[in-house]
Amino acid sequence: MKPAQPRFLPFAVFMAFIAFDELVRTLIEYGFITLEATALYYLYPLKTVVVGYLLYRYRKVYYELNFKELLIIPTTLAVSCVGVLVFMLWVQMDWTLGASAPDPGFNPRLLPNAPVRIVMALFRIIGAVLVVPLMEELFWRSFLIRYIIDKNFENVRVGTFTWGSFLLTIMLFGAEHNYIYAGIMAGAAYNLILYKTRSLVQCVLAHAVTNLALAIYVIFTGKWQFW
């Protein structure tokens, strides 16, 4: 097994689910198929389970994830604060490119009954807080940021800085998100954590804190576009 696969495949599968979702939405919009938009909500639990399984399957390969680093309490507290700051900036930077209407996001209140709404919201939170931070940080700040420096990325120490890898990863990280400028900001923040701490798990923590704060904010304000 090539060393890139465990770090690339979960991300690729995650993006494939998003691409399929966008394709179906486009087909609905142009009248090629008839389907309630909320039917696509049920892809999220499947996406969470599949990507979560891949991360679990490859867990022994992720040598760069050392959870004992979270026991360095001053660093962990500081990184958590950065995660909250990224959230606070994110909800103020709800700018998209072009004149298209904003994505309505994931609104569980549109689902048919309370048990379904609760289960789907829980899957959304679990995916955002546990699965996505691991999956994205392994891809962006373990694999790609080092691969840009050297195709034999395992020869590059985690947290190695070059301007090229820094700029390219934050731009691509931004492009991955609907709110591209907020994505660039978040990518830069997580990259800086990586350079400062040389700890991938601290990047995962910051990302998880951001997503948890965002989930709480969305649920209490009903601003579903951020989901």
The 3 state secondary structure assigned to 5-74 is HHHHHHHHHHHHHHHHHHHHHHHHHCCCCCCCHHHHHHHHHHHHHHHHHHHHHCHHHCCCCCHHHHHCHH
Q: What is the mean pLDDT of the chain?
A: 95
Average pLDDT estimate for 189-199: 98
Euclidean distance between CA atoms 88 and 92, whole angstroms: 7
Decide if 123 contacts 48 (C-beta within 8 A). yes
Q: Residue 143 has what pLDDT?
A: 98
Q: Which of 25-34, 114-123, 211-220 has the lowest mean pLDDT?
A: 25-34
- What does the block give as tokens for 139? 């891809």
C-alpha angle with apex 137: 132 to 140, nearest 5 degrees?
Answer: 120
Euclidean distance between CA atoms 17 and 135, whole angstroms: 14
Average pLDDT estimate for 196-220: 98
Q: Residue 204 has what pLDDT?
A: 98
Average pLDDT estimate for 98-110: 76
Q: Residue 1 has what pLDDT?
A: 78
pLDDT tens-digit readout, 59-88: 999 999 999 999 999 999 999 999 999 999
Give me the amino acid identity at 197.
T
Q: Residue 98 has what pLDDT?
A: 61
Cβ-based neighbours of 61, under 8 Å, separated by 6 or more: 1, 3, 6
pLDDT tens-digit readout, 86-100: 999 999 998 877 645
Average pLDDT estimate for 145-154: 97
Closest to 76 in 3D by CA, of 215, 211, 213, 197: 197
Euclidean distance between CA atoms 21 and 28, whole angstroms: 11
Q: Residue 31 has what pLDDT?
A: 87
Tell me the CA distances in angstroms from 166 to 33, 148, 150, 181, one per residue in order. 42, 9, 14, 15
Count of CB atoms situated within 10 Å of the CB of 50: 15
Average pLDDT estimate for 196-207: 98
Q: Residue 101 has what pLDDT?
A: 56
pLDDT at 140 over 50: yes
Count of CB atoms situated within 10 Å of the CB of 17: 17
- What does the block give as tokens for 77? 């507290």
Q: Residue 99 has what pLDDT?
A: 47
Q: Residue 103 has what pLDDT?
A: 73
Return the C-alpha torsion angle 127, 143, 175, 81, nearest 10.
60
pLDDT at 153 over 50: yes
Tell me the domain boundaries of the chain.
5-226
Q: How many residues does the chain have?
A: 227
